[in-house]
Amino acid sequence: MSRDPLLDFTGRVALITGAASGFGSLLARELGRRGARLVLGDIDEAGLAQTADKLGGAGIELHAQRCDVSSEEDCAALVGLAVERFGCLDIAVNNAGIAPPLAFLDDADEEMLDRQHSVNVKGVFFGLKHQLKAMKPQGSGIILNVSSLAGLGGAPKAGVYSAAKHAVIGLTRTAAVENARYNIRVNAICPFFTLTPMVTGIEPPPGVSGEELRASMASGCPMKRLAEPEEVVNAMVMLCSPSLSYVTGQALAVDGGVSAF
C-alpha cells in the first residue's frame, strides 16, 4: 500500500501486549500493514496464535510469545524478544487489561481491587520499566499506555477499575517527564466504552440483558453510541506515529464527546 509519511512505520519495531483480540489485534494489523515489524504478547495463547497466523499470512514480519503482564518476568522477556530478534524496540503499546467488575464502592472487595491492580497497574508498570531500559540506550522510543475515560474521571459502579486506570495516567505522565531528555515519548489513550470483547463480555446485573446494559452505557455519550474498535485504534496509530515528535505526557480521550461536559 502507498504510505502517508505521517503514518509510515516502515522498519519500526513495535511491541503490543493484549494482542490476541480487541484493540491489540487491530493495532497489530494497522501497524503491520504500514511497515512495522511486530512483537506480540498475550496470556491467551490460542488467540495470540490466531492473530499471528493471520498477520504472518499477510506478509507481516512478527514474533509472538505468551505474556502475562502481571508477571514482571514475562514483560521483561517480551522486551528481550524484540531486542534479540530485531535489535531494538521503537514502539511499545501497553494494551493488555481486564474489564471492570460492576459494583458500588461499598460493595467492592479486596479481591476485586487486587485483581485490577495486578493486571491494569502492574502490567503497565512492568512494561514501562523494561521498555524504558531498552529505549534509553538507543536514545529514542515511543510508548503508548491504554487507560480509559474512567482514568480521567469518576466511574460509578466501576470504582476499582477507575482507580487502576487513574494510576496508568499517573505512570504515563511521570515516565514522560523523566524520559523526555532521552527522546522517549510516553502517552496514554482513554477510550469510552468500545465494542471490543472486553466490553461486550461484561456480565450485566440480574434482570438486565447485554443489549440493555450497552444501551445504558451509550446513554451518557453525546453521540448516543459506543465506539467501534477501529475508531479507537485509528487514534492509537496516530499516537504511535514517529511524526508526532513533540507530543508527550498526554492522556487523549476518545469518547464521543463525554469529557466535553
Q: Which residues are catalytic?
A: 161
> What order do you get walking across the sheet with 62-66 strand by strand?
62-66, 37-42, 13-17, 91-94, 141-146, 184-191, 251-254
The separation between the first and the last C-alpha atoms of the chain, rounded to the nearest angstrom, is 40
Residues in CB range of 176: below 8 A, 6 or more apart: 185, 186, 187, 248, 249
Provide the β-strand partners of residue 94. 145
Closest CA to 125 of 143, 137, 110, 111: 143
Of 91, 176, 76, 86, which Cα lies nearest the Cα of 142?
Answer: 91
Q: How distant, in Å, are the alpha carbons of 62, 76, 106, 118, 180 from that of 82?
A: 9, 10, 43, 24, 22
- Amino acid symbol at 70: S
List alpha helices for 91-201, DSSP H: 110-116, 122-138, 159-179, 197-200
